[in-house]
Amino acid sequence: MKPMLNLYLLGVVLTLLSIFVRLMESLGGILESPLLGTPKGIPDHPSREV
């Protein structure tokens, strides 16, 4: 394999990984918050009803 191809594949993998992490974070935030319009400043203990 050529070095340029290795760098290209590494960039693609890192890009996909970052996109996956962002998707998981956004999904986690949506699942944690009962409403989609909640502000970003979520308190440390949002779920007391458990």
Distance between CA atoms of residues 10 and 30, nearest Å:
30
Q: How far is Cα 9 from Cα 11, in angstroms, rounded to an integer?
A: 5
* pLDDT exceeds 70 at position 50: no
Query: Regarding predicted confidence, which is higher, 12 or 48?
Result: 12
Is the pTM higher than 0.85? The answer reads no
End-to-end CA distance of the chain: 54
pLDDT at 6 over 60: yes
Q: Which amino acid would we find at residue 6? A: N
Residue scoring higher pLDDT (1 or 21): 21
